[in-house]
Amino acid sequence: EADLSDIGQAQSLCAQHQPDLVFIETPSNPWLRTTDIALVAEATHAAGGRLVVDATAATPILTRALDFGADIVMHSATKGINGHSDVLAGVLATNAPADPHWQAIAIDRHDAGAVIGSFEAWLLIRSIRTLPLRVERMSQNAQAVAEFLQSHDAVAQVFYPGLPDFEGHSVAKRQMAGGFGSLLSFCVKGGAVEALRVAGRLNLFHRATSLGGVESLVEHRHTIEPHTGIPESLLRLSIGIEDVQDLCADLEQALTC
């Protein structure tokens, strides 16, 4: 595992290890790091490998990873694609179906029987009809919440690719069209106690781990993954489609206590 949002590191690791497969997640969870898909694709292909992009947080509405040179794109359809927190599903897509690696995936799917149930498929069809609208609203809301948090005295740091001074913003602008997604993180001033108190005081945000649904969620990531270096003061938000003034007012009352 390496931070491939650092493109110099991505290039030297590819040259050094000649990987068969490079797997990136952009924007990443919970740091919201942006990895330049086109440059990593170039470095991967120069080393003879294939690039897989987990673009779950971006959704296919905001980032078309195959257009930037990815060989396979992955989405957890459990998240934004379904958007109603009532389906478990996933998507892999390629534009090179004759590739032997893709053939191996297709054969395994067929033989292992990893086929979605008809009810879940129907729920997804229903959901996808509103996907562009939901992503547009969630991204607008998330942008406004990120800006609100950035200007708040009780907040130490905000992680959101839509903020002009956030690392990776210029790359995100290039490979995300129409918004920067629903996911953001922020550190409250203080530590675990302060962060947990803010999470506990929020009324509109449900305390839950998923993301990309119509309802806003908050989680204390350190509690979920204590050994991965995530600060105790960090809260991750998944912003939904609610009235953004209600969301900011809820954060305001939770932060000023």
Ligand X SMILES: *Cc1c(COP(=O)(O)O)cnc(C)c1O
Provide the binding-site residues for ligand X, judged by CB under 6 A.
Answer: 25, 29, 54, 56-57, 76, 78-79, 88, 90, 211
The residue among 65 and 254 lying less far from ligand X, judged by its C-beta, is 65
**CB neighbours of residue 169 within 10 Å:** 17
Residue 44: CB minimum distance to ligand X, A? 19
The residue among 155 and 230 lying less far from ligand X, judged by its C-beta, is 230
Residue 87: CB minimum distance to ligand X, A? 9
The residue among 116 and 249 lying less far from ligand X, judged by its C-beta, is 116
Residue 174: CB minimum distance to ligand X, A? 20
Q: Which residue has its beta carbon closest to ligand X? A: 76
Residue 88: CB minimum distance to ligand X, A? 5
The residue among 44 and 238 lying less far from ligand X, judged by its C-beta, is 238
The residue among 29 and 157 lying less far from ligand X, judged by its C-beta, is 29
Residue 182: CB minimum distance to ligand X, A? 11
The residue among 75 and 137 lying less far from ligand X, judged by its C-beta, is 75
Ramachandran sector of residue 196 (left: φ over 0; alpha: ψ -120 to 50; beta: rest) = alpha
The residue among 88 and 177 lying less far from ligand X, judged by its C-beta, is 88
| β partners of residue 238 | 183, 217
Please report the DSSP string for the chain in residue order. Answer: ---TTSHHHHHHHHHHH--SEEEEESS-TTT-----HHHHHHHHHHTT-EEEEE-TTTHHHH--GGGGT-SEEEEETTTTTT-SS----EEEEES-TTSHHHHHHHHHHHHHT----HHHHHHHHHHHTTHHHHHHHHHHHHHHHHHHHHT-TTEEEEE-TTSTTSTTHHHHHHH--S---SEEEEEESS-HHHHHHHHHH-SSSEE-S--SSSS-EEEEHHHH-TTS---TTEEEEE--SS-HHHHHHHHHHHH--
Residue 234: CB minimum distance to ligand X, A? 16
Residue 35: CB minimum distance to ligand X, A? 13
